[in-house]
Structure 1
Amino acid sequence: MFRRIFLSFWAGLVLILVIGVGVTLAVTSARLHALDGVSSARLTQEARAAGRDGTDALQRWVRRTEARYPTLRVFLVDPQGRELLGRRLPVRLRDWAGLNLAQTVAQWQALRTEALPGAASAHRRAPVPVPDSWWNVPAVESAGGAVHFALFLPFDSSAYEVLGVPYVLVLLFLCAVLVSGAICWVVARHITRPLLAVQHGLRGLAGGALDARLGPALAGRRDELGALAADFNATAQRLQELVSAQERLLRDVSHELRSPLARLRLALELARRDRQGPAAQLDRIERECDRLEGLTGQVLRLARLRDPQPVRGQPLDLAALVGDTLADVAYEAEATGKAVAWQAPPAAVPLQGVAAELSSMLENVVRNALRFTPPGGRVDVSLQADAAQVRIAVRDRGPGIAPELLGQVFTAFFQADPARAGGHAGAGLGLSIAQRVAQRHGGDIRLANRPGGGLVVEITLPR
């Protein structure tokens, strides 16, 4: 990529240089040769012929001549230094005319006097010679006796004469190539250097170095390459978090599985020793197997819900779904002396979603609230909806959670204080599953401690 960018920029600049020099030379040559075949003597004759028709005709001739020859300017100045069209003379002509115009006028008057020796010849014109150089000042008489002196300013080629020297063009070309090459090298290096750094970082990630990051000098740039470096760092950080979470999940799963397996071995050993009454040990084995089955199901469910793609659900009535889910949970809660209070909305709440996932999400949240609610307590559930979203609030009357632990409750296998659970064991996966379901439906879950005690869990879902 470096070679491609470098050579592309360089070739482009060289091409522009060649085209520019060629066009400049062509234009310069055309301007230098624009007056070929044009002489001051012929122009003087044309001016004198136009002057016979008066001053207005002479003015028209000046304008017509300058339009015909863009590289030539013609100024007609009277003996007092006033230009026929009222224009200011260029500086070089003004300085030159100030030194030579008076002398030219005197010479013209002397020639005219010599050509008119007597009063009888008063109406004869002086035979003023026609000049053969651009820098002579011919006299142009017009009808009525007015006289003007012609000042010709042909194209000044002195600034372009240097281009005619062969080695000058070669030096200009080499200088342009070297300068453009150096600039293109710097630009190409400026672009490809960060890309090489990103490539090195990607190879580090592929090799397992999840802590690979691009430096602040690159990530802090205010251009597309800086944005690429910032995205790389964010991606690497996210990958490291995901891998760390995966490793932590495996450790937690192995820890959670180790306890029931140990109890299973103990129950089997006791069953072998107690040959007359193994029924109690078999019941114990059955409970541990059920626990293992439930834990495995939750882990698999959490793994399936890791898909970040949003779900494509079916239309459903969220109010009816919440009511049916809470009816089953409330029936189980009555056995422990607890209650679930449900405030149903007055009308149906249509929503797009997966009914099984939404029901599981609400069930996990409410079961978690009942787990920390003391006997005789109550869990309140409410549903509010507007045009943009729906909010499900679950409020318990348990001990709450320490503020510094609120950000960790959705971590898999996290348990703030198992001792507060009232003797109900849990793996710490319910809220993690509930959060994944809400996120897959485009929503979120937030927790907060209630001022009077307990915890409020708010589920927000878009309409």
Structure 2
Amino acid sequence: MLILLVGSGVTLAVTSARLHALDGVSSAELTQAARHAARAGDAALGQWVRRTEAQYASLRVFLVDRAGRELLGRPLPVRLQDWVQLNLAQTVALWEGGPASAGPAVHRAHVPVPDSWWNVPAIESAGGGVHFALFLPFDSSAYEVLGVPHVLVLLFLCAVCVSGLACWVVARHIMRPVLGVQQGLRSLARGELGARMGPGLAGRSDELGALAADFDATAQRLQELVSAQELLLRDVSHELRSPLTRLRLALELARRGGPGMPAQLDRIERECARLDLLTGQVLRLARLREPRAAARAPLDLAALVGDTVADVAYEAEAAGKAVAWQPPRQPVLLHGAAAELSSMLENVLRNALRFTPRGGQVDVGLELQGGAVALSVRDRGPGIAPEHLDQVFAPFFQADLSRASGHTGAGLGLPIAQRVAQRHAGEIRLVNRAGGGLRVEIVLPC
């Protein structure tokens, strides 16, 4: 569109300039000059035509004889060809046999053609021939100006300049964001995980904006993963230091011998078991953070919950606690990894039993909610402070170690359960019960 507008403007400017170049030229002066040249014959008249057209680039002079032939042998424009076919014979007849009263000087000077806009001067040469002069400021087409060589060159240069400028603007519009993304990727490669494209680029509504937004999301996710790994490594180191310190102390006391040696050996055994449990939970959480999902298959969640409850209830009975489970009347089918789901429920149940006082009970329920299944675990413990409900899913987070006597957990049970739920496109929610205790609800798609 821009090239079309520029080309039209150039064409109109050239056309206007060509028209203004003929302001000082009249057909009467041209006729008089042509008759003067015709006194020397047709050759001199032809030379005059060439000189005149060279002097006035916008002017075309055509001299047509009685047979319709042009003096210089040039093809006639379409308009003149139509005039020759329709009016030449009548013009010749008027010139040869005009009214006697008009006199030769009149009818041999200008021949008015009825029903025509032409006023054709007749040019008699020295040899007795006659030509009818037709002066055209333009050719037969309205686009005659495009036939002028310098106009075509000018239009070509304008098209090249406009298209080059447009291409430069488009290329800059595209390359600047691409270079920004490239620079951001190089920053990520150098370990600068805080690199972002910013709202100016990510806020664009085109594909480059989507690319920048994806880059920011990727960089944010990488930063979160690296930060989580660093935090996990720091927390694991902190959690391992305490049992290792106790092990070292118990080992030193055991080396001294005496009646306290059996107690120290028991302490060493407990600390080793605690380290083994902690290491297993850390490894399980690390595996759950991997993007590769475990093998999944159709399974009956009700049967899986029943088996897990039976295993945990056996241990709860030994601690003076109980697990109440009312299975649904029909199977609850979903597609998932049985081992991961069993581990998730086991962690939640053990966590509930840990904070349930002796003689208390943990209730387990399973029900369908539209296209999802809700698994709930309700305990009679002290609950969790409202400000800590979202923080307990962080690895090793422990809001209050005094809530349960003999607490030996490392704070990895709920993070493992949340990760399993997320890998099954579900979610896990914690709600404090009105009568005391905590309700853990796990929602999974069927």
Q: State the TM-score, normalized to the length of structure 2.
A: 0.70
Establish whether residue 383 from structure 1 lines up as the match of residue 366 from structure 2. yes
What RMSD in Å do the two structures reach over aligned CA positions?
3.3
Q: Which residue of 2 aligns with 1:247?
A: 230
**Distance apart, 1:353 and its partner CA:** 2.0
Q: Which residue of 2 aligns with 1:304?
A: 287
Structure 2: how far apart are the matches of 1:418 and 1:276? 32
- Which residues in structure 2 correspond to 1:195-214 (within 5 Å)? 195-214=178-197
> Contact conserved, 1:260 with 1:288, CA < 8 A, in 2?
yes
Q: Which residue of 2 aligns with 1:314?
A: 297
Counterpart residue type for residue 355 of structure 1: A
Structure 2: how far apart are the matches of 1:456 and 1:303? 26
Counterpart residue type for residue 225 of structure 1: L
Q: Which residue of 2 aligns with 1:413?
A: 396
- Which residues in structure 2 correspond to 1:317-332 (within 5 Å)? 317-332=300-315
Moved more, 378-387 or 190-199: 378-387
Counterpart residue type for residue 393 of structure 1: S
Query: Given the alignment, which residue of 337, 344, 347 partners 2:330?
Result: 347
Q: Which residue of 2 aligns with 1:234?
A: 217
Structure 2: how far apart are the matches of 1:213 and 1:233? 5
Q: Which residue of 2 aligns with 1:40?
A: 83
Instruction: Give 3-state SS (helix, strand or coil) of 1:238's partner.
Output: helix
Size of the alignment, in residue pairs?
Answer: 347
Q: Which residue of 2 aligns with 1:135?
A: 117
Can you list the C-alpha shifts for 1:349-379, whole angstroms capped at 9, x where unaligned?
Answer: 2222222221111010011111112222211
Structure 2: how far apart are the matches of 1:459 and 1:46? 105
> Contact conserved, 1:364 with 1:434, CA < 8 A, in 2?
yes
Query: Given the alignment, which residue of 365, 372, 375 partners 2:355?
Result: 372
Query: Given the alignment, which residue of 263, 267, 283 partners 1:280?
Result: 263
Instruction: Give 3-state SS (helix, strand or coil) of 1:38's partner.
Output: helix
Counterpart residue type for residue 38 of structure 1: Q
Instruction: Give 3-state SS (helix, strand or coil) of 1:392's partner.
Output: strand
Structure 2: how far apart are the matches of 1:421 and 1:112? 136
Counterpart residue type for residue 366 of structure 1: L
Structure 2: how far apart are the matches of 1:166 and 1:113? 50
**Distance apart, 1:34 and its partner CA:** 6.9
Can you list the C-alpha shifts for 1:274-302, whole angstroms capped at 9, x where unaligned?
Answer: 25652221111111111111111111111
Q: CA 1:190 to 1:39, structure 2 compared with 1: closer, same or farther past 3 Å?
A: closer
Q: Which residue of 1 aligns with 2:426?
A: 443
Can you list the C-alpha shifts for 1:374-396, whole angstroms capped at 9, x where unaligned?
Answer: 22221111000256221101111
Structure 1: how far apart are the matches of 2:143 and 2:236? 86
Instruction: Give 3-state SS (helix, strand or coil) of 1:409's partner.
Output: helix
Q: Which residue of 2 aligns with 1:97?
A: none
Counterpart residue type for residue 417 of structure 1: D
Structure 2: how far apart are the matches of 1:225 and 1:246? 31
**Distance apart, 1:40 and its partner CA:** 2.7
Moved more, 303-312 or 279-288: 303-312
- Structure 2 residues not aligned, in runs of 5+: 12-74, 102-110, 121-137
> Contact conserved, 1:40 with 1:134, CA < 8 A, in 2?
no
Counterpart residue type for residue 445 of structure 1: I
> Contact conserved, 1:40 with 1:132, CA < 8 A, in 2?
no
- Which residues in structure 2 correspond to 1:105-120 (within 5 Å)? none
**Distance apart, 1:451 and its partner CA:** 2.2
Structure 2: how far apart are the matches of 1:163 and 1:330? 97
- Structure 1 residues not aligned, in runs of 5+: 1-12, 22-31, 48-106, 115-128, 139-154
Q: CA 1:369 to 1:168, structure 2 compared with 1: closer, same or farther past 3 Å?
A: same
Q: CA 1:302 to 1:33, structure 2 compared with 1: closer, same or farther past 3 Å?
A: farther
**Distance apart, 1:158 and its partner CA:** 7.0
Q: Which residue of 2 aligns with 1:72?
A: none
**Distance apart, 1:166 and its partner CA:** 2.2
**Distance apart, 1:304 and its partner CA:** 0.9
Can you list the C-alpha shifts for 1:79-125, whole angstroms capped at 9, x where unaligned?
Answer: xxxxxxxxxxxxxxxxxxxxxxxxxxxx9xxx8999xxxxxxxxxxx
> Contact conserved, 1:311 with 1:354, CA < 8 A, in 2?
yes
- Which residues in structure 2 correspond to 1:87-102 (within 5 Å)? none
Q: CA 1:113 to 1:409, structure 2 compared with 1: closer, same or farther past 3 Å?
A: farther
Counterpart residue type for residue 233 of structure 2: L
Can you list the C-alpha shifts for 1:415-436, whole angstroms capped at 9, x where unaligned?
Answer: 1111112222111111111112
Structure 1: how far apart are the matches of 2:406 and 2:89? 122
Query: Given the alignment, which residue of 148, 160, 166 partners 1:165?
Result: 148
Structure 1: how far apart are the matches of 2:442 and 2:257? 51
Q: CA 1:243 to 1:33, structure 2 compared with 1: closer, same or farther past 3 Å?
A: farther
**Distance apart, 1:132 and its partner CA:** 11
Structure 1: how far apart are the matches of 2:175 and 2:402? 58
**Distance apart, 1:163 and its partner CA:** 2.5
Structure 2: how far apart are the matches of 1:248 and 1:242? 10
Q: Which residue of 2 aligns with 1:54?
A: none
Structure 2: how far apart are the matches of 1:340 and 1:188? 68
Can you list the C-alpha shifts for 1:233-274, whole angstroms capped at 9, x where unaligned?
Answer: 111111111111100000110011111111111011001112
Structure 2: how far apart are the matches of 1:307 and 1:33? 85
Q: Which residue of 1 aligns with 2:274?
A: 291
Moved more, 271-280 or 425-434: 271-280
- Aligned-residue identity in percent: 70
Instruction: Give 3-state SS (helix, strand or coil) of 1:428's partner.
Output: coil
**Distance apart, 1:335 and its partner CA:** 2.4
